[in-house]
């Protein structure tokens, strides 16, 4: 492989926690009477919690104070955490698990680059708490994707330059962040056809074709 490290987004790449984000935002939006569907949810992929809320509130007739917005974000996160707490290693697919193991055996360094502050909790739930060589997440960044900060941090933690790493992303904002940081990107899921990506994956196991 032309890369020495791979930086994975978490939600929607390693596991299907993107669905839990959708369900918990949908519950909040319904309670507030704000239109919100799966298409609009795609705009939230890779975007931080508060910025996601702001996108949802764009469709509201009302304006909400900063305190109300913080309370809404906490309400959403409580619902999200409830769903996450029910996860177990069974929620890590065989495809993802086998791909990670094969890449590791091939000598690649593996990292997470996620906007989520729930990253450590999710990794613990799915049995990957100690797996990755580096974890950069929403707890250690100040700029949201499409800013490249989270991927630059992950590469630095791996001791690699951006050109030596491949980023795997399901969010258009994440593909943009990777490119902004000087990384090649493999796009999957919702972002799969993003023309800025160097690779377009049907599944994570397609990465093994590059070995
Ligand atoms: C990203 C998700 O991984 O994390 C976004 O794609 C989410 O949808 C963001 O808003 C922040 O997540 P959290 O868990 O910190 O609210
Ligand atoms: Mg994602």
**Can you tell me which atom of ligand 1 is nearest the CA of 170?**
6
| Crossing angle between the packed helical segments 49-57 and 66-85, to the nearest 10 degrees | 120
> Which of 84, 118, 138, 176, when mutated, tests ligand 1's pocket best, judged by the most ligand atoms within 8 Å of its CB?
138
CA of 191 to the centre of ligand 2 (A): 9
Q: Note whether 91 and 125 are within 8 A (CB).
A: yes
In this prediction, residue 210 carries a pLDDT of 84
Q: Other CB atoms closer than 10 Å to residue 24's CB: what's the count?
A: 20
Those residues with Cβ within 8 angstroms of residue 205's Cβ, 6 or more apart along the chain or in another chain: 95, 98, 99
Q: Note whether 82 and 104 are within 8 A (CB).
A: no
Q: Which ligand lies nearest the alpha carbon of 56?
A: 1
- Tell me, using a 6 A CB cutoff, whether residue 169 lines ligand 1: no
In this prediction, residue 211 carries a pLDDT of 82
In this prediction, residue 165 carries a pLDDT of 98
- Tell me, using a 6 A CB cutoff, whether residue 119 lines ligand 1: no
C-alpha 7/C-alpha 48 separation (Å) is 18
CA of 116 to the centre of ligand 1 (A): 4
**Can you tell me which atom of ligand 1 is nearest the CA of 45?**
6
In this prediction, residue 1 carries a pLDDT of 80
- Residues taking part in catalysis: 9, 11
**Can you tell me which atom of ligand 1 is nearest the CA of 9?**
3
Report pLDDT digits (tens) over 145-188. 999 999 999 999 999 999 999 999 999 999 999 999 999 999 99
- Tell me, using a 6 A CB cutoff, whether residue 176 lines ligand 1: no
Say whether pLDDT at 199 is over 90.
yes
Residue at token pair 């940081």: 181
> Which of 16, 47, 83, when mutated, tests ligand 1's pocket best, judged by the most ligand atoms within 8 Å of its CB?
47
- Tell me, using a 6 A CB cutoff, whether residue 134 lines ligand 1: no
Report pLDDT digits (tens) over 74-87. 999 999 999 999 99
Q: Which ligand lies nearest the alpha carbon of 83?
A: 1
Q: Note whether 148 and 183 are within 8 A (CB).
A: yes
In this prediction, residue 24 carries a pLDDT of 98
């Amino acid at each position: 492989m032309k890369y020495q490290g791979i930086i994975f987004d978490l939600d929607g790449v390693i596991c299907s926690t993107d669905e839990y984000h959708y369900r918990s935002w949908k519950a909040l939006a319904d309670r507030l009477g704000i239109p919100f569907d799966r298409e609009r949810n795609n705009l939230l992929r890779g975007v931080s919690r508060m910025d996601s809320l702001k996108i949802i509130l764009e469709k509201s007739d009302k304006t909400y104070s900063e305190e109300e917005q913080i309370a809404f974000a906490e309400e959403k996160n409580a619902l999200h955490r409830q769903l996450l707490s029910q996860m177990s290693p069974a929620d890590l697919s065989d495809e993802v698990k086998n791909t990670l193991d094969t890449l590791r055996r091939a000598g690649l360094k593996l990292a997470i680059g996620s906007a989520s502050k729930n990253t450590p909790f999710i990794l613990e739930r799915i049995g990957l708490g100690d797996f990755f060589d580096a974890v950069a997440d929403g707890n250690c960044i100040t700029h949201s994707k499409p800013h490249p900060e989270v991927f630059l941090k992950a590469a630095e933690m791996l001791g690699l330059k951006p050109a030596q790493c491949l980023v795997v992303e399901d969010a258009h904002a994440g593909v943009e962040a990777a490119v902004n940081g000087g990384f090649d990107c493999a796009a999957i899921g919702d972002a799969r056809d993003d023309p800025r990506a160097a690779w377009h994956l049907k599944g994570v196991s397609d990465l093994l074709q590059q070995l």
